[in-house]
Amino acid sequence: MATLFGSGIKRREDPRLITGSGTFTDDIKLPGLTFAAMVRSPYAHATIRKIDTAAAAQAPGVIAVITGKDIAGKVGPVPCAFNVPNCDLKLPPHPALATNKVRYVGDAVAMIVATSRAAARDAVDLVDVDYDPLPATVDPEKAVQPGTAQLHDEVPGNVAFTWHVAGGDADQAFAQAAVKVSLRIVQQRLLPTAMEPRSAVASYNKATGQLTLWATSQNPHIHRFLTSVTLGLPEHKIRVISPDVGGGFGSKIPGYADEFLVAYAAMTLGRSVKWTEDRSENYTVTTHGRDHVEYVEMCGTGDGTITGLRTKIHAGLGAYASTAAPGVPTILHGLMYSGAYTIPNVKGTVIGAYTNTTPVDAYRGAGRPEATYLIERLVDCYARRIGMDPALVRRKNLIPADKMPYTVATGITYDSGDYHAALDKAMELIDYRGFRERQEKARKDGHYLGIGVSSYTEICGLGPSQVAGQIGFGGGLYESAIVRVYPTGMVRAYIGTRPHGQGEETTFAQIVADEFGVPIENVEIVAGDTESTPQGWGTYGSRTTAVGGAALKNAAVKVKEKAKKLAAHLLEANEADLEWHDGKFQVKGSPAQAKAFGELALMANVAWNMPAGMEPGLEASAFFDPTNFVFPYGTHIATVDVDLETGEVTVLRYVCVDDCGPHINPMIVEGQVHGGVIQGVGEALQEIAVYSDDGQLMTGTMMDYAVPKASQMPTIESHFTYTPTPVNPLGVKGIGEAGTIGSVPCIVNAVVDALAPLGITHIDKPLTPARVWAAIQQAKGGAR
Amino acid sequence: MIPASFDYVRAKSLRDALNAIGTDGTKVLAGGHSLIPMMRFRLAQPGRLLDIGQLAELKGIDLKGRGARIGAGTSYRELLDSPELAERYPLIAEATRGIGDVQVRNRGTIGGGLAHADPASDMPAVMLALGATFNLRSKGGKRSVAAADFFTGAFTTALASDELLIDIALPAPPKKAGMAYASFEQKASGYAIAAAAAVVTKSRKTITGVTLALTGVGDRAYLADASGAVGSHGDDAALEAAVANVTKGIDVNGDIHASVEYRSHLARVVARRAIALALSRAG
């Protein structure tokens, strides 16, 4: 039987998902269901003088109007669970419903529960809140300047934390360097825009004290834990079900006020309650991504050896610290300051700022895209300064394969990789030299073509639990799985992660089916229900396959080991004399003496004839805690054509060479690269969340926030190298975020390369036509 | 995304519609692809919707003679499905292909879009460039308004509250005219930051006539003066000079997508590109 590992079979979840046969949270229907809608602040910053709910409470269909006063002492503050150490992190209380003060547009002040969604929505307009508006601050750099509006009494100067990272001696490297380049970079705020908005449904049985919460969650076990903490409900009385989830990109990691409030309402009212945000609400209250203002510099020799990197980062957290927010611009960002290079001296300071904006948390890549972008922009600036081709500078500074595993300046150890191979392959595929010649010629004809390179490595497969503890992550980072074999040989595997579009229902079944030599149809993967699945920490940080897949593999191996012992017993053979062949254990040299997996499943489950001391049944659970993170890497190269007249950027070719180890399902890997690259190209060219100075989100709908459309995106030429990691038994590294991490800088580098003849050295993303045109006008004005 | 509550009436006939239209708080619903989103955002909260989407009297394309008559209830899809219309007025097909997406074109109607008068929508510029006349009717009578007099501001038109746009009359296009639509789209909405519709005639190599209309630039689509191109061969310099003042007297929009300066610049670019493209198609 051919192995399924490495086979690009179609995704098993797709027939369900694309024919409308999935079950999403909003599809949950319960008897007597009621509907919640939130009353949200229209002001970015205001004190609340009075909340008058009388008219809303009288409105047709309204069951309850709940305010912050009602939940005092019953619904705890919305928790932050990433308590990054040694940075003086300040976590002011985040009330689920504001009582005294609102701190961003969308901050909830009341919840309506009504018999229909429409009645709840109508009643929202009837709640009369008397606000006293205050000055707002929206920019992470300005927010920490003196004299700026203050969000929290507990946080002077709006400084949430000041985090430092250092390795080597960067100050000395800069003092001695022949060449220094610096940039001010704005990494704009982004809206994750999962296809399915968030939703929650809660049902409470007063007699048993059992709460069931359906929620759009990337990590139902974390939601169970956070719900327990926030509502003071025993964890074993809470069942969190995350049914089909339509994407998250990080925005469905956090525990939100909305979910806790829905649970509280169900408990108090004795009715099941549903809340589903619409797209505008999603844009207003579901976490955003990025939001950095950065001062960054790089130094090196005159002949292309990079010797140091320094940063000062202003990272916006929004109005409150969301669940994982403090870890994103620190741990997941600053530890990667050497990038894919041997940069020996790095030093960074990250200043987290509270601003009157929607909370910012993990968004596809979470900290690593920001790190890669600033490094890769600096490499290009440095190359230009010393007059060396940027690709050659990269080649000169990439960590050599023979130095792997390699410990970088910040102290983390990259597991494996041949970074040069990926760079060389990408350069060959895009015909780098040939393009440089065409570019030269085109410039003479007044056409501005550019080529941009980005060599990245990223930290994912999060991660060893011991490290999680050290970095203040409020949970473990192992994974677990249960493999249960039924009497008929059919298999159900229960996993602790919660795939929500990544295809693990398929790839994980491939792992199990291979292990047992059974058709994939015999294997079902179960995720998302804390009642049936073992403790896990969720799907994010490109960890599901590298950690959860490894746990699953180990559980399957355990099952197979037991089956082998049983086979030896039934065949009256020595275990050592058995070999696994084509789905059965057979006696070496005597293949007729064999027990197929299905037969062993039956015998184990009926337990008529078990070896002495062996328990009946055929199932096993395994926990896998990796010894290290994994570090996928690669090189992305784009070529672009810039229309000088309009500023419009056209991507001519997009070539990426990624290495995430061996592929369980090459089609799914490629799909992850495609999705990641598109989100990165969107970030590079068109996506930006804009706030007005008084804190209104100006891009609150898809009419203004430019989610990439298929017609706007280039063809992606996706290629790979294959370097297994020693960190897990599958050899796999994460690929969910790599595309986003690798893509953003190569696009920007290509555009800046195209415009270099005008003297342009940097344009802040997104490189919208308006921004590119303005940069061109400025450069032309300067040249005159 | 739940609209405020409203009453709904479906007109069974044109007469029925004209009897109902004047009632206070009534808004006419055709394809709904502009109105419904505004209602879902609660930016529009009409007390009553009068649905004219089913009225056969408002549908259809009549190409008898050398001009055309297009029923206001004709969908964008139906416009695209008429090769004869595309043959006579290629400008309509070129602009319509860029309106919304497949679903919007299937449901959205030419009359609904024109009556909605979004300052960035495509069809008003096309109508202006083609010299359209809009036929309106109320319970009390009928009248005709030239496209140039129809658009009176952002989302406002010459339509009285009891009037319905019945159909659009297009004159015969100038002989051997070339037509082109050039749009520079805002990437999120797909609406024009600036777009230009041009109808150009020439004799041998010389431009003999230019009609140019712009949309997306100010509070309404408008006819712009590009007559400076007449008499030239349409070379870059001549066209550049001809479009230099196309935003003159216009209160150009500035927003998060395009500053006043950039939008004014783009207006000149799309104007020049539309004329050049139309010229290449003329004759």
The answer to whether A712 contacts B189, with C-beta atoms less than 8 Å apart, is no
The answer to whether B1 contacts A278, with C-beta atoms less than 8 Å apart, is yes
The answer to whether A712 contacts B187, with C-beta atoms less than 8 Å apart, is yes
* Percent share of chain B, pLDDT over 70: 100
Q: How far is CA A428 from CA A376, A655, B171, in A?
A: 20, 10, 58
Q: How far is A513 from chain B (nearest CA, A)?
A: 42
pLDDT the model gives residue A782: 61
pLDDT the model gives residue A746: 98
pLDDT the model gives residue A784: 42
Q: How far is CA B34 from CA A702, B81, B194, B214, in A?
A: 14, 22, 19, 20
Q: Which chain B residues have a beta carbon less than 8 Å from that of A707? A: 188
Q: Per-residue pLDDT for B115 more than 60?
A: yes
Q: Do B227 and B219 form a contact (C-beta atoms < 8 A)?
A: no
Q: Do B46 and B4 form a contact (C-beta atoms < 8 A)?
A: no
pLDDT the model gives residue B22: 84
The answer to whether B269 contacts A646, with C-beta atoms less than 8 Å apart, is yes
CB contact A713 to B (< 8 Å): no
The answer to whether A707 contacts B266, with C-beta atoms less than 8 Å apart, is no
The answer to whether A768 contacts B187, with C-beta atoms less than 8 Å apart, is yes
Q: Which among B2, B184, B189 is the nearest to A703, CB-wise?
A: B189
Q: How far is A29 from chain B (nearest CA, A)?
A: 19
pLDDT the model gives residue A379: 98
Looking at residue B128, its amino acid is L
Q: How far is A706 from chain B (nearest CA, A)?
A: 4
Segments in chain B forming alpha helices (H): 14-20, 35-40, 76-80, 83-88, 90-96, 102-107, 110-116, 123-130, 147-150, 236-242, 260-281
The answer to whether A704 contacts B184, with C-beta atoms less than 8 Å apart, is no
The residues, any chain, with a CB within 8 Å of residue A73's CB and separated by 6 or more, are none
Query: Is residue A187 one of the residues assigned to a domain?
Result: no
CB contact A580 to B (< 8 Å): no
User: In chain B, what are the domain boundaries?
Assistant: 7-45, 60-170, 178-281
The residues, any chain, with a CB within 8 Å of residue A20's CB and separated by 6 or more, are none
Query: Is residue A564 one of the residues assigned to a domain?
Result: yes
The answer to whether A278 contacts B41, with C-beta atoms less than 8 Å apart, is no
Strand order in the sheet with B61-62: B61-62, B68-71, B164-170, B133-138, B141-146
- Of A610, A614, A608, residue with least CA distance to A569: A610
Top residue of A280, A704, A772 to mutate, by most chain B CBs within 10 Å, is: A704
Q: How far is A773 from chain B (nearest CA, A)?
A: 8
Q: How far is B124 from chain A (nearest CA, A)?
A: 20
Residue-by-residue DSSP string for A519-588: -GGGEEEE-SBTTTSPP---S-TT-IIIIIIHHHHHHHHHHHHHHHHHHHHHHT--GGGEEEETTEEEET
Number of domains in chain A: 1
Q: Which among B188, B262, B265 is the nearest to A702, CB-wise?
A: B188
The answer to whether A698 contacts B256, with C-beta atoms less than 8 Å apart, is yes
Question: What are the structure tokens assigned to A180, written together?
Answer: 């220094």
- Report whether the peptide linkage leading into residue A405 is cis, meaning its omega lies within 30 degrees of zero: yes
Strand order in the sheet with B48-51: B7-10, B48-51, B26-29
Q: Which chain B residues have a beta carbon less than 8 Å from that of A189? A: none
Burial class (CB in 10 A: 0-12, 13-18, 19+), A606: exposed
pLDDT the model gives residue A463: 87
How far apart are alpha carbons A303 and A311 in whole angstroms? 23
Q: Which among B2, B256, B265 is the nearest to A117, CB-wise?
A: B2
Q: Which chain B residues have a beta carbon less than 8 Å from that of A279? A: 1
Q: How far is B169 from chain A (nearest CA, A)?
A: 32
Q: Do B85 and B79 form a contact (C-beta atoms < 8 A)?
A: yes
CB contact B184 to A (< 8 Å): yes
- Of B57, B90, B93, B92, residue with least CA distance to B72: B57
Please report, for the domain that includes residue A554, its CATH number.
Answer: 3.30.365.10
How far apart are alpha carbons B55 and B124 in whole angstroms? 23
Strand order in the sheet with B192-203: B178-185, B192-203, B206-215, B222-224
Task: Give the A window 648-707 contacts with B, CB below 8 Å.
Answer: 648, 686, 690, 698-699, 701-707
Q: Which chain B residues have a beta carbon less than 8 Å from that of A709? A: 187
Closest residue in chain A to residue B2, using alpha carbons only: A118
CA A539 to chain centre: 8
CB contact B4 to A (< 8 Å): yes
The residues, any chain, with a CB within 8 Å of residue B194's CB and separated by 6 or more, are B183, B184, B214, B215, B216, B217, B258, B263, B266, B267, B269, B270
Q: Do A26 and A107 form a contact (C-beta atoms < 8 A)?
A: no
Helix (H, G, I), strand (E, B) or coil at A669: helix
Cα torsion A24, A27, A29, A33: sign: positive
Looking at residue B151, its amino acid is F
pLDDT the model gives residue A709: 95
Strand order in the sheet with A179-190: A159-167, A345-354, A306-318, A289-300, A179-190
How far apart are alpha carbons A697 and A682 in whole angstroms? 19
Query: Is residue A256 one of the residues assigned to a domain?
Result: no
Cβ-Cβ contacts under 8 Å between A and B: the total is: 50
- Of A110, A83, A108, residue with least CA distance to A94: A108
- Report whether the peptide linkage leading into residue A766 is cis, meaning its omega lies within 30 degrees of zero: yes
CB neighbours (10 Å) of residue A407?
12
Task: Give the A window 252-291 contacts with B, CB below 8 Å.
Answer: 278-280
The answer to whether A121 contacts B2, with C-beta atoms less than 8 Å apart, is yes
Domain B178-281 of CATH type 3.30.390.50: yes
Looking at residue A739, its amino acid is G
- Of A282, A284, A231, residue with least CA distance to A261: A231
- Report whether the peptide linkage leading into residue A463 is cis, meaning its omega lies within 30 degrees of zero: yes
Q: Strand pairing of B26-29 and B48-51?
A: parallel
pLDDT the model gives residue B24: 86
Interface confidence, given as ipTM, is 0.96
Q: Which chain A residues have a beta carbon less than 8 Å from that of B97? A: none
How far apart are alpha carbons A767 and A570 in whole angstroms? 69
Task: Give the B window 194-213 contacts with A, CB below 8 Å.
Answer: none
pLDDT digit string, tens, across residues B144-181: 999 999 999 999 999 999 999 999 999 999 999 999 99
The answer to whether B2 contacts A707, with C-beta atoms less than 8 Å apart, is no
Q: Which chain A residues have a beta carbon less than 8 Å from that of B216? A: none
CB contact B83 to A (< 8 Å): no
CB contact B181 to A (< 8 Å): no
The answer to whether B188 contacts A703, with C-beta atoms less than 8 Å apart, is yes
- Of A62, A139, A131, A134, residue with least CA distance to A99: A131
Helix (H) or strand (E) holding A71: helix A68-71
Helix (H) or strand (E) holding A119: helix A117-124
Q: How far is A702 from chain B (nearest CA, A)?
A: 6
CB contact B103 to A (< 8 Å): no
Helix (H) or strand (E) holding A369: helix A368-386
CA A608 to chain centre: 49
CATH class name, domain B60-170: alpha beta
Helix (H, G, I), strand (E, B) or coil at B138: strand
Q: How far is A395 from chain B (nearest CA, A)?
A: 36
pLDDT the model gives residue A1: 59
DSSP letter at B187 equals: T
The answer to whether A686 contacts B259, with C-beta atoms less than 8 Å apart, is no
CB contact B265 to A (< 8 Å): yes
Domain span at residue A511?
Answer: 478-624
Q: Which chain B residues have a beta carbon less than 8 Å from that of A774? A: 259, 262
pLDDT along chain A (784 residues), means of 10: 90 96 98 98 98 98 98 97 97 98 98 98 98 98 97 98 98 98 98 98 97 98 98 98 98 98 98 97 98 98 98 98 98 97 98 98 98 98 98 98 98 97 98 98 96 98 94 96 98 97 97 97 98 97 97 98 98 97 96 97 98 97 97 98 98 98 98 98 98 98 96 97 97 97 98 97 98 97 59
Q: Strand pairing of B164-170 and B133-138?
A: antiparallel
